[in-house]
Amino acid sequence: MSRVFLIVLDSAGIGGAPDADRFFNAGHPDTGANTLGHIAKACAAGAAEEGRSGPIDVPFLASLGLGPAIRLASGFDAPGLDVQPTGAWGAATELSNGKDTPSGHWELAGVPVPWDWHYFPTTIPAFPDNVTAALCKAAGTDGILGNCHASGTQIIADLGAEHLKSLWPICYTSADSVLQIAAHEDAFGLDRLLDLCQATAPMLHEMKVGRVIARPFIGDPKTGFTRTANRHDYAIAPPGDTILDRAQRAGRATYAIGKIGDIFSMRGIGEVRKGPDATLMDHLGDLLTEADDTSLTFANFVEFDSVYGHRRDVSGYARHLEWFDKALRGHLDKLRDGDLMIFTADHGNDPTWTGTDHTRERVPVLAHGLGRKELGHMAFTDVAAMVARHLDIPE
Ligand SMILES: O=P(O)(O)O[C@H]1O[C@H](CO)[C@@H](O)[C@H]1O
Ligand SMILES: [Mn+2]
Ligand SMILES: [Mn+2]
C-alpha cells in the first residue's frame, strides 16, 4: 500500500482564473495576474537578480510539467520551464467565492465554501463597535490600536512603539476575511495574545470572518520589530467532511506540516509539525522516511505567500522556489514504490501585481508517482478525489 504527500506552495498560482475580474487588488481587477508565469518572465528578463540570477531554475517542478500547466491555465509560455514533462500535470480552477487560504485548502480537500465570507470595510475604524468592545474586554485594555486595513509588517513598524507604551493590541485586517492581532511577545505576552485570539474567535466565526490570527512580534523601537514563527490562526471549521476526515475515519495516519492544522481547525489531523519553511522541509524529509504506509501527509509552505508574495518581492519569491526545488530533490530518494506526491497551491499572490493582496488564479496540480500524464483542466476538489483514489478511501 502506498502513501500520499499533498504539498501546497502557498500562493503559487498560474493565472487564467475565469472569474479574476470579480477579485481586486488596490481597486484593480486581478485579470491577467499570473504568479509563477510572471516570476519566470521577470527571471528570464534579468529583473529578479537579488540573491539569485538568470532564468528560473526549478528542474524538478519543471520535469513534472510546470511549464505546460501554466500554458494550460493561462495560455502563457513561461520562459525557463520549457522541458518535456515526465510527471503528471494539470491546472485547477477554484469554485469558492474567496481567494483566501481556508477557501483554497478546504476546496483542495474536497469541500468548496458554501457561504460568502464577511470582509471588513476599508473605512477607519474597520471594525464595528461590538467587535472592538469584545477585543478590549478579552485583552483587558481600554482600547485597541490599528482598527484598519494594513500590511502586517508595516503596521508593527508604525505602531510597535505605541503598543509597547499602552500595551493595547494592534488589530488590523486585509482583503481577506480576517481579523489579525499583533502584540509584542514579551511585553504583552505570547500566551495572553493567544488567549485573546481564542476568546474572540467564536464571535468572529459567527459573523463568517474566516480567521482570527495571532501575529506575535519581538524587537524595540531602536532596532525595529520582527514577527516571530509563533503565528497562530484560529479558523472556522470546514463546513463538511474533508479528505483528512475521511482518511482518519478509515483508520489512516494523517500528518500536518506547517499551518494545515490551523486551517482545518485540527479536524481529521493526527500529528502536527510546525516551524519556518526550512524546518518544514526537514519535517517533510522525516515523514518521507517515517510516515506509515497508507498515510496522508498534508503540507503548507507559507513563506512563498507571507514573506514574498504579500511583500511583492519577485527575486525573493524566485529564490524561495529555487530553494524549495533543490531541497526537495534531496529528499526524493526517500519515496517508496507506490507513493504519490502532489504539488499544488491555494490561490495566487503575484509579486509583480499592484496592491499587496492575493490574486485570483488557477493553480498547478503536479504529481510524481502517476507516470507521465496530462491531467488537463480540473476542479480544486479533483485533488481530493486523486488523494482518495490513491489511498482507496471514499471520494
Ligand atoms: O500583511 P500580513 O499581516 O502578512 O497579512 C497577510 O496575511 C494574512 C493571512 O494569511 C492575509 O490576510 C494577508 O493580509
Ligand atoms: Mn494561502
Ligand atoms: Mn496570504
**Tens-digit pLDDT profile for residues 10-23:** 999 999 999 999 99
Atom 4 (ligand 1) nearest CA: 152
Q: Is the pLDDT of residue 27 over 70?
A: yes
In this predicted model, what pLDDT tens digit does every residue of 227-286 receive, in sequence order? Answer: 998 999 999 999 999 999 999 999 999 999 999 999 999 999 999 999 999 999 999 999
Query: What number is the average pLDDT over the span 34-61?
Result: 98
Query: What number is the average pLDDT over the span 160-187?
Result: 97
- How much is the pTM? 0.93
**Residue 296, helix vs strand vs coil:** strand
CA distance readout (Å), 183 to 164, 198, 219, 262 = 9, 14, 11, 19
Average pLDDT, the chain: 97
Q: What is the CA radius of gyration of the chain?
A: 20
Residue 1 confidence (pLDDT): 57
Residue 311 confidence (pLDDT): 96
Q: Is the pLDDT of residue 144 over 70?
A: yes
Across the chain, the runs of DSSP E, i.e. the strands, are 4-9, 24-25, 28-29, 88-93, 145-149, 170-173, 178-184, 211-220, 224-227, 232-235, 254-257, 271-273, 296-301, 340-344, 363-368, 373-379
Per the CB < 8 A criterion, the answer to whether 248 and 254 are in contact is yes
Across 154-210, the runs of DSSP E, i.e. the strands, are 170-173, 178-184
Ligand 1 pocket check: which of 148, 197, 306 to mutate, most ligand atoms within 8 Å of Cβ? Answer: 306
Q: Read off the pLDDT band of 334 (50, 70, 90).
A: very high
What phi, psi does 242 have (nearest 5°)?
A: -100, 175
Q: Could you tell me which residues are beta bridge partners of residue 9? A: 301
- Strands 211-220 and 178-184 come out as parallel
Dist. CA 306 → ligand 1 center (Å):
7
Query: What number is the average pLDDT over the span 288-314?
Result: 97
Query: What number is the average pLDDT over the span 137-151?
Result: 97
| Residues around the ion ligand 3 (C-beta < 5 A) | 305
Calculate helix-pair angle for 101-108, 381-391, nearest 10 degrees: 40
In this predicted model, what pLDDT tens digit does every residue of 100-131 receive, in sequence order? Answer: 999 999 999 999 999 999 999 999 999 999 99
Residues whose beta carbon lies within 6 Å of some atom of ligand 1: 101, 151-152, 174, 176, 178, 180, 213, 306, 310
In this predicted model, what pLDDT tens digit does every residue of 348-365 receive, in sequence order? Answer: 999 999 999 999 999 999
How many Cβ atoms are within 10 Å of 195's Cβ, its own excluded?
14
Compute the Cα dihedral for 178, 184, 187, 192 and give only its sign: positive
Ligand 1 pocket check: which of 159, 180, 181, 215 to mutate, most ligand atoms within 8 Å of Cβ? Answer: 180
- What's CA 238's distance to the chain center, in Å? 16
Residue 245 confidence (pLDDT): 98
Task: At 11, list the grid cell.
Answer: 500562493
**175 or 283, greater pLDDT:** 283
Residue type, 39: I
Dist. CA 2 → ligand 3 center (Å):
32
Index of the ligand 1 atom closest to the CA of residue 233? 9
Residue 57 confidence (pLDDT): 98
Atom 12 (ligand 1) nearest CA: 176
Index of the ligand 1 atom closest to the CA of residue 305? 10
Residue 395 confidence (pLDDT): 84
Q: Is the pLDDT of residue 174 over 70?
A: yes
Q: Is the pLDDT of residue 97 over 70?
A: yes
